[in-house]
Amino acid sequence: MNDNTRVVSVPGRCQGYASCVITDPDRFDLGPDGRVLILKPVIQAGELGLAEEAIRACPAAALKKELETS
Ligand code: SF4
C-alpha cells in the first residue's frame, strides 16, 4: 500500500491568475490554454508547506489536495 498526497485542479475553476505559478514554479505552470498545468502532482513530505501555500494563494479556489491510496 502506498499513500501519496497529490494536488489536483478543480475542473472549470482556474482563471489563469498564475498565483500558484509564482508561489511554487517547480510544481505549477500555465498551459497553452492559459489554465493551470500541474507539473508535479505528487507532494513529497518536505514540499507540503510550499504546495499548501500555493493552494491557498489561488484566488479562484481551483486547487486542492487529495490523498491517493494505491
Ligand atoms: S490554479 Fe488558481 S492561482 Fe493557479 S493559475 Fe489557476 S486560478 Fe490562478
Atom of ligand 1 nearest to the CA of 17: 8
Nearest to 63 by CA among 1, 20, 16, 5: 20
The vertex-33 CA angle with 27 and 58, nearest 5°, equals 45
- The structural domain count of the chain equals 1
pLDDT 10s digits, 20-70: 999 999 999 999 999 999 999 999 989 999 999 999 999 999 999 999 876
**Cβ(43) – ligand 1 distance below 6 Å:** no
Residue 36: give its domain's CATH number: 3.30.70.20
* CA-proximal residue: ligand 1, atom 2 (nearest): 58
User: Ligand 1 centroid to 15 CA: how many Å?
Assistant: 6
Structural domain boundaries enclosing 27: 3-69
**Cβ(62) – ligand 1 distance below 6 Å:** yes
CB 58 within 8 A of CB 34: no
Residue 1 pLDDT greater than 60, yes or no: no
Q: What is the pTM of this model?
A: 0.91
Please enumerate in sequence order all residues whose Cβ is within 8 A of that of 45, keeping only pairs 6 or more positions apart, or say none: none
